[in-house]
Amino acid sequence: MGRSYFHLHLVSDSTGETLINVGRAAAAQYEGVSAIEHVYPLVRSGSQLERVISEIRAAPGLVLYTLVGGDLGQRLEMAARESGSPCLSVLQPVHDLLQSYLGTQKAARPGAQHMLNAEYFKRIDAMNFTLAHDDGNLPEDLEEADVILLGVSRTSKTPTSIYLANRGLKTTNLPLIPGVPVPAEIEAARKPLIVGLFASPERIIQIRQNRLSSLNADESSMYVDREAVSDEITASRRLFMRNRWPTIDVTRRSIEETAAAILDLHRDHRMKFIAE
C-alpha cells in the first residue's frame, strides 16, 4: 500500500513553532500518511494573510492557525471554508478553558511566549555555556554546570546538550574514550546531575559507519569493530554503575525523549541538592 499525502497549512502570527510541533505530533499517529507542510510565520497584517489565503486556495488541505489579534482568524476561517479546507484555531480551546477558570479575558499579544524576559536570557546563558563546553571542554569550575552527560562516541551527547540548553540547563558533555580515565573533577562534582548515556552496539556501529562514510574515512577501524564497541559500552556502564550515576538507553529514543528524561532526573536531583 502506497503512502498518501495531504497539504497542511500552518498559519502563525509568531514563529510557528507551536503549530509545527502540534501538527507533526498529530500527523505522526497516522501510518502511511505524510503531511506536505506549508508554514506561514509572522502573519500580522491583512496583506500578509491574503498571500496565505491564495496559497491555500491553490493547494486545499487542512489549516491550523494561531492568530490572536484582530479579525485575521475570522477572515482565514472564512476563506478556508470557501476552499473546502477544514480550519482550526489550535490555541482557542486552551484559551477558552483558561478564561473560564481564571475569570478574565486574555490579552491579544502575538508571540508573547518569546518575550525577552529573565527566562529568555537564562536560556541564552545556558546555550553559550553549553556550546563553550561541548565534547570534553570542561569548565574550570565544573560546579557551574547543571548537567554533565557521559557516554561513548555517538550516543547523541551534543544534540541532547543543546536541547537541554534551550530549556535553560547549563550542560557539558564528555566522550568516554577507551584507556582514558574520567577526570577526577567529574567524580567529585556535587551540584551537577551526571547522566550516563549508552546504546546497543548495533546502533552505535550503524551511526559510526554513517559518520565514517560521510567523511570518506576507513571503515575497517576499531571504531566500528563489533567486539571493540561492545567492550566500550560495557566499560561505560560499569563506570556509571560504580558511581551510581543514572543511565539512559538512547538506542530507540529521540533527542526530545532523552532530554525529557534528563529534565525529570534533574528536577529530583536539584531538590535533593537543595535539601542537603
pLDDT at residue 211 in the model: 86
Fold match flag (4-113 vs 118-275): yes
Range among 14-28, 91-105, 197-211, 216-230 with highest mean pLDDT value: 197-211
> What value does the mean pLDDT take over residues 77-89?
96
* pLDDT of residue 210 exceeding 60: yes
What confidence tier does 107 reach under pLDDT thresholds 50, 70, 90?
low
Domain boundaries, the chain: 4-113, 118-275
pLDDT at 232: 97
Q: Is the pLDDT of residue 182 over 80?
A: yes
Binding residues: 151-158
C-alpha 76/C-alpha 185 separation (Å) is 58
How does DSSP assign the chain, residue by residue?
---EEEEEEEEESS-SHHHHHHHHHHHTTSTTEEEEEEEE----SHHHHHHHHHHHHHS--EEEEE--STTHHHHHHHHHHHTT--EEESSHHHHHHHHHHH-SPPP--TTGGG--SHHHHHHHHHHHHHHHT-TT---SSGGG-SEEEEESTTSSHHHHHHHHHHTT--EEEEE--TT-PPPHHHHH--SSEEEEEE--HHHHHHHHHHHHHHTT--TTSGGG-HHHHHHHHHHHHHHHHHHT--EEE-TT--HHHHHHHHHHHHHHHHHHHHH-
More confident residue, 95 or 183: 183
What is the pLDDT, as a whole number, of residue 116? Answer: 54
In CATH, the architecture of 4-113 is 3-Layer(aba) Sandwich (3.40)
Q: How confident is the model at residue 122 (pLDDT cuts 50, 70, 90)?
A: confident
Which residues define the annotated binding site for ADP?
Answer: 151-158
pTM over 0.85: no
- Place 172 in a pLDDT band, splitting at 50, 70 and 90: very high
pLDDT bucket at 106, cuts 50 / 70 / 90: low
Rounded CA separation 40/56 (Å): 11
Min mean pLDDT across 11-20, 130-139, 249-258 is at: 130-139
Give percent of the chain with pLDDT exceeding 90.
67
Amino acid at 149: L
Fold classification of 118-275 (topology level): Rossmann fold (3.40.50)
pLDDT band at 15 (very low <50, low <70, confident <90, very high): confident
pLDDT tens-digit series, residues 56-66: 999 999 999 99
Compute the distance between CA of residue 192 and CA of residue 147 in angstroms, rounded to an integer.
Answer: 5
Residues 125-136, mean pLDDT to the nearest whole number: 90
